[in-house]
Amino acid sequence: MGPSRVAVVRSPAVAKVTGIGGVFLRARNPERMAEWYRRHLGVPMSDGGAITFHWDAAETTTFALFANDTDYFGEPGQRAMINLRVDDLAELLAQLRSRGVEVLPQTEDSEFGRFGWCVDPEGNRIELWQPAAGM
């Protein structure tokens, strides 16, 4: 028998996404928006409008695709929605209402926890999520 005619084929390494690296929004007035998120949602954003969250526990982050005609995000022009994890949904919604923030009247309870929604000064619907125990 002559030299081997069997070629060794190596599969290329498959790169993959390992998590959400950030959420980025356009804002007409980033400084005003940063102040709104600090004041009303307790997000300690820098004056430039950024924060890096460091997870203290093994929590999850969801990436989901919705049909283009969904009304779940609010206005048809809104292409994305932020979901923020909260510790006490009822209390936060009450605080927001007392400060004159637009809060949607409905809430939703599911196996994943409790959900409510508010709208920031530039019209972006924000989902507020109090996870179910153990999530």
The pLDDT value recorded for residue 113 is: 92
Distance CA 100, CA 102 (A): 6
Mean pLDDT within 32-59? 84
The pLDDT value recorded for residue 1 is: 46
Q: Is the pLDDT of residue 3 over 80?
A: no
Residue with tokens 């994305």: 80
Which helix (H) or strand (E) covers residue 115, if one does? strand 113-119
Spell out the domains of the chain, with CATH numbers in brackets.
30-131 (3.10.180.10)
Q: What is the pLDDT of residues 87-101, one digit of tens each?
A: 999 999 999 999 999
Q: Is the pLDDT of residue 8 over 70?
A: no
